[in-house]
Amino acid sequence: MATDPSPRGVEYREVAADEAEWRFDRWVRHHFPQLGHGMLQKLLRTGQFRLDGRRVQGGDRVQPGQTVRVPPLPTVDRPLDRREVVRPRPGDERLIEEMVIHQDDAVLVLNKPPGLAVQGGTGTTRHVDGLLATLAREGERPRLCHRLDRDTSGVLVVARTARAAAFLTSAFRGHEARKLYWAVVVGEVRGQEGLIDLALAKRGVVEKMAADEEGKPARTRWRVIIRSGKVGAWLGLMPLTGRTHQLRAHCAAMGWPILGDGKYGGAAAQPTGAPRALMLHAREIDIPHPGGGRLRVAAEPPASFREGLRWLGLAPEPLPFSRLADWPR
């Protein structure tokens, strides 16, 4: 709630439940679309925006209940900078509709293709969050409940209403969702299953996670679905925590990086003649439904993932532990 209703005064706004884990710059653009990128960066640099009283950067994540200090801004009557207006492109509505693999009154589930960002950022004007506007009903725009990396494909859960968004966001934060990922990895995978319990922390200017005892706890269960000798394997991965790039960092730390993941696996993840796409697919999810019961949805892998399996001499056939139902709770 604003403490000073004057358009020239300072405001204080509370982060809503359905805005959990949003980047701060995205939160600002959502609430104040008249604010240009350059002005936003200036206000951040000078500390005029504050999050719970502290300085904040555009890439910081917000959490429900946090208080944002909003400095005096241009009025909403100022024309928007034409360069900042993201208009629907021809085919956008068809693109997002083709991603829908489940829908009901409260929830949409998408099969996100690789290469499409979930949210906007510097230089990113086409993303799932923007495309969702074409699926608005009765003036209510669908809301993201979690994220996938740009190059990761598969299951993405979206809420149709604010109530559903609050429920689903709470379910994700409370680790009530069971998620199964498929990955094609390179290198010798020893054993059939295991638990990677390796804390992660951000390192360097570029957002990259690294093993660090002082980092945030990160745990991933893994099982071999089928291996291709010492060359690589098709794995099932179940994240028990939700750290940035967790699966990619964990696989690389184990010595078997995900195929195509040059960021974490370097040259070892990009063998000569291998497909270049990231071979990580969010295959299946089991999550409480806002209307009661549980929602279980699986997403078919894209052509690029099947190409990765073929490179190992494998096929995407039903095998033990390729389904979430095969994994004990």
Instruction: Give mean pLDDT in consecutive 10-residue pieces for the chain, a chain of 329 residues.
Output: 47 81 88 78 91 91 88 56 49 90 97 92 78 83 90 96 89 93 97 97 80 93 96 97 95 98 96 96 98 97 97 92 94
Q: What is the C-alpha separation between 149 and 154, in angstroms, rounded?
A: 10
pLDDT of residue 6: 37
Helix (H) or strand (E) holding 155: strand 153-159
Instruction: Quote the CA–CA distance of 240 and 237 in Å, as a whole number.
Output: 10
Lookup: tokens for 212: 């660090």
The whole-number pLDDT of residue 73 equals 79
What Å distances lie between residue 155 and 114, 179, 204, 300, CA to CA?
11, 9, 30, 9
Homologous superfamily, domain 178-321:
Pseudouridine synthase (3.30.2350.10)
Domain 93-173 is in which class?
alpha beta
Q: How many CB atoms lie within 10 A of CB 258?
A: 28
Tell me if the pTM is above 0.85: no
- Do the domains at 11-71 and 178-321 have one common CATH topology? no
Asked whether 295 and 284 are in contact (CB, 8 A), the reply is no
Residues 166/167/172/176 CA torsion (nearest 10 deg): 160
Based on the residue annotation, tell me whether 104 is a catalytic residue of this protein.
Answer: no
Q: What is the pLDDT of residue 34?
A: 67
Joined together, the tokens standing for residue 83 give 């360069």
Pairing label, strands 67-70, 208-211: unpaired
Name, in order, each residue with C-beta under 8 angstroms of 113's C-beta and a sequence gap of 6 or more. 99, 153, 302
Cβ-contact 145, 155 below 8 angstroms: no
For the chain, the structural domain boundaries read 11-71, 93-173, 178-321
Give the model's pLDDT for residue 101.
98
**Which single residue is written with the structure tokens 């979690």?**
146
**Fold for the domain defined by 11-71:** 3.10.290
Query: Given 25, 149, 151, 286, which residue is catalytic?
Result: 149
Closest CA to 326 of 176, 180, 172: 180
Cα(116)–Cα(189) distance, rounded to whole angstroms? 30
